[in-house]
C-alpha cells in the first residue's frame, strides 16, 4: 500500500495483504467525498484514514488514532463501539455482521454534532477470518436538512388543504341541518357525497401529511420484510368490517417476503375498496394466497358483474374511470397507485375474470431471493443500536 500522511506507521498497526485490494475502493469512495477508514481487527487501530477527516469532523489523522487508542473513550468512541461483539458474532456464523449500515452523531472538537452514516464491511483472509474492517463515513447534514424541509413542506400542505376542507365540511353540515330538512332525496344524497368526500380527504391528510406522521417516519426505521399470510388475514378482517362475507383460501406461504408492509397493505386495501364499491351489498369475497413460479400470488376475487370488456385495456391507467363508475365515488387513481406500489417491489398486478363471474385481481411478488427494484438487500443490517461495527 502506498505510504501517505494518512497511513499510520508500521509500529502502530501492520498493513496486511488483504488491504492491497482496498486501494481502488479508497480512491473511488474519496472521489465521491466520503471519508474512508480501514481498521485492523486484531488491534482495533486504524491502518488508514482519509486525509480529509479534518474537513468533515475537525480531527487530524493522528488525533483519530490517539482517540481510538483510549479503550472506547472520547468523542470518537462510537466509531469502534461493538467491534469485538461484531467479530464474535461473525465468527459464530452470523453472516449479517459482514456488512453493516449505521447512523449516529459524532462530536467535533468545537462541540458540534455531525450526523453520519457509516457503511462498513469485514475484509476476510483466505480462511474466512475477519482481518480488517473497511468502510466509509458520510456526512448526513445535507440529507437531514432536506428531510426537515420536506416535513415543513408537508406541514404547510396539510394546513393549506385542511383549512378549505374544514370550511366545506362545516358548510355542508349547516346545509344538511337547514335546507336539507326540506330538500328532496337526490339533493340530500348530493349533500352526503360532498360530506363523505371531505371526510375522506381530511382522513388522507391525517394518514400521510400530519406532523405526527412525519415525525413517526423520521423516528422509525421502516421494515423491509412483509409476512404474506398476515397481509391476507388483515385483508379478510377489513372485508368483514366492511360487512362482506369473506373466505380465505391460502396454500402454504413463505414466512417473509422482501417488501414494505405499509405499501403492500395499501395496494391490497385499494383492491378491497374497489371490490366493495363495484359489487352489490352482501356479495361474497374470496381472498387467495398461493405460490406461483418464483414468487407468491395474493388475490382478491369478488362475485359482482365484473369489469366491462371495453374498460379492461385501461383500468390501470392514471385517472381512468370505467363505464360502470358513473355516480360512484372515486378519482381513477386507485388501481394505478396499487400497480405502481407492486411494480416498485419487482412484482405485477393483473386482472383476470373470476371463474364463476366477477373480477379477480392478482398481486404477484417475487420471493426474497429474487431481486426487486429499489429494495434493501437482506444481507445488510441497518439497525442503529450502538456504534459503527456492532
Nearest Cα to 63, choosing from 114, 107, 29?
107
Same domain assignment for residues 352 and 233: yes
Query: In the numeric block, which cell numbers belong to residue 164?
Result: 378549505
The answer for residues whose C-beta is within 8 angstroms of residue 39's C-beta and 6 or more apart is 45, 46, 47, 68, 80, 83, 132, 133, 134, 389
Same domain assignment for residues 209 and 244: no
Nearest Cα to 218, choosing from 310, 289, 312, 154?
154
For residue 329, being part of any structural domain is answered with yes
Q: What angle do CA 303, 282, 262 make, to 5 degrees?
A: 75
Same domain assignment for residues 154 and 204: yes
**What residues does 295 pair with on adjacent strands?**
292, 366
Nearest Cα to 272, choosing from 310, 312, 231?
231
CATH code of the domain covering residue 125: 3.30.450.20
Q: Domain count of the chain?
A: 3
For residue 171, being part of any structural domain is answered with yes
What's residue 350's pLDDT? 92
Q: Quote the radius of gyration of the chain (alpha carbons, Å).
A: 28
Q: At what angle do helices 228-241 and 261-277 cross, to 10 degrees?
A: 40
Same domain assignment for residues 290 and 352: yes
For residue 283, being part of any structural domain is answered with yes
Same domain assignment for residues 238 and 312: yes
Dump strand ranges (E) for the chain.
Answer: 35-40, 46-49, 99-107, 113-124, 130-139, 225-226, 246-250, 257-258, 285-292, 295-302, 348-353, 359-366
For residue 5, being part of any structural domain is answered with no
What's residue 381's pLDDT? 37
Same domain assignment for residues 229 and 336: yes
Q: At what angle do helices 185-208 and 211-219 cross, to 10 degrees?
A: 30
For residue 210, being part of any structural domain is answered with yes
Same domain assignment for residues 237 and 297: yes
Domain that holds residue 106: 17-139
Domain end point (choices 203, 219, 235):
219
Same domain assignment for residues 342 and 262: yes
For residue 381, being part of any structural domain is answered with no
Length of the chain in terms of residues written? 390
DSSP for residue 131: E
Same domain assignment for residues 151 and 260: no
For residue 7, being part of any structural domain is answered with no
Q: Strand, helix or coil at 99?
A: strand
What's residue 321's pLDDT? 67
Same domain assignment for residues 163 and 244: no
> CA 279 to CA 387: how far, in whole Å?
54
Within the chain, which residues score under 70 in pLDDT? 1-33, 70-73, 180, 208-223, 320-332, 368-390
Domain end point (choices 105, 139, 173):
139
CATH code of the domain covering residue 306: 3.30.565.10
For residue 385, being part of any structural domain is answered with no
What's residue 310's pLDDT? 79
Cα dist from 289 to 238, 247, 274, 279, 296, whole Å: 16, 11, 19, 22, 7
Helix and strand element counts for the chain (H, E): 11, 12
| Spatial contact of 383 and 221, defined as CB atoms under 8 Å apart | yes
The model scores a pTM over 0.85 = no
What's residue 97's pLDDT? 83
Same domain assignment for residues 243 and 351: yes
Domain end point (choices 196, 219, 242):
219
Same domain assignment for residues 159 and 55: no
Amino acid at each position: 500500500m502506498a505510504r501517505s500522511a494518512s497511513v499510520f506507521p508500521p509500529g502502530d498497526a501492520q498493513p496486511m495483504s488483504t488491504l492491497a485490494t482496498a486501494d481502488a475502493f479508497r480512491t473511488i469512495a474519496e472521489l465521491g467525498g466520503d471519508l474512508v477508514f480501514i481498521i485492523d481487527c486484531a488491534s482495533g487501530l486504524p491502518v488508514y484514514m482519509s486525509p480529509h477527516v479534518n474537513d468533515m469532523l475537525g480531527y487530524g489523522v493522528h488525533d483519530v488514532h490517539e482517540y481510538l487508542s483510549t479503550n472506547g473513550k472520547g468523542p470518537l468512541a462510537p466509531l469502534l463501539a461493538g467491534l469485538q461483539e461484531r467479530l464474535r458474532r461473525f465468527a459464530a456464523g452470523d453472516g449479517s455482521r459482514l456488512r453493516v449500515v449505521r447512523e449516529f452523531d459524532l462530536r467535533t472538537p468545537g462541540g458540534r454534532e455531525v450526523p453520519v452514516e457509516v457503511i462498513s464491511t469485514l475484509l476476510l483472509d483466505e480462511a474466512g477470518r475477519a482481518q480488517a474492517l473497511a468502510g466509509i463515513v458520510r456526512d448526513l447534514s445535507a440529507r437531514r436538512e432536506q428531510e426537515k424541509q420536506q416535513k415543513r413542506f408537508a406541514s404547510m400542505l396539510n394546513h393549506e388543504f385542511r383549512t378549505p376542507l374544514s370550511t366545506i365540511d362545516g358548510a355542508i353540515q349547516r346545509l344538511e341541518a337547514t335546507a336539507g330538512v326540506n330538500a328532496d332525496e337526490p339533493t340530500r344524497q348530493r349533500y352526503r357525497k360532498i360530506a363523505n368526500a371531505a371526510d375522506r380527504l381530511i382522513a388522507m391528510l391525517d394518514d400521510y401529511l400530519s406532523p405526527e406522521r412525519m415525525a413517526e417516519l423520521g423516528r422509525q426505521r421502516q421494515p423491509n420484510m412483509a409476512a404474506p399470510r398476515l397481509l391476507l388475514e388483515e385483508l379478510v378482517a377489513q372485508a368483514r368490517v366492511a360487512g362482506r362475507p369473506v373466505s380465505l383460501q391460502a396454500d402454504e406461504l413463505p414466512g417473509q417476503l422482501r417488501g414494505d408492509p405499509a405499501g403492500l397493505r395499501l395496494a391490497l386495501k385499494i383492491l378491497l375498496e374497489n371490490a366493495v364499491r363495484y359489487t352489490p351489498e352482501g356479495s361474497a369475497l374470496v381472498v387467495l394466497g398461493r405460490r406461483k413460479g418464483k414468487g407468491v400470488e395474493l388475490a382478491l376475487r369478488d362475485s359482482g358483474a365484473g369489469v366491462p370488456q371495453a374498460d379492461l385495456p385501461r383500468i390501470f391507467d392514471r385517472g381512468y374511470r370505467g363505464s360502470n363508475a358513473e355516480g360512484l365515488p372515486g378519482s381513477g387513481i386507485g388501481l394505478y397507485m396499487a400497480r405502481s406500489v407492486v411494480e416498485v417491489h419487482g412484482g405485477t398486478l393483473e386482472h383476470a375474470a373470476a371463474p364463476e363471474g366477477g373480477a379477480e385481481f392478482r398481486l404477484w411478488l417475487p420471493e426474497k431471493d429474487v431481486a426487486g427494484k429499489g429494495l434493501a438487500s437482506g444481507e445488510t443490517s441497518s439497525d442503529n443500536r450502538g456504534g459503527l461495527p456492532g
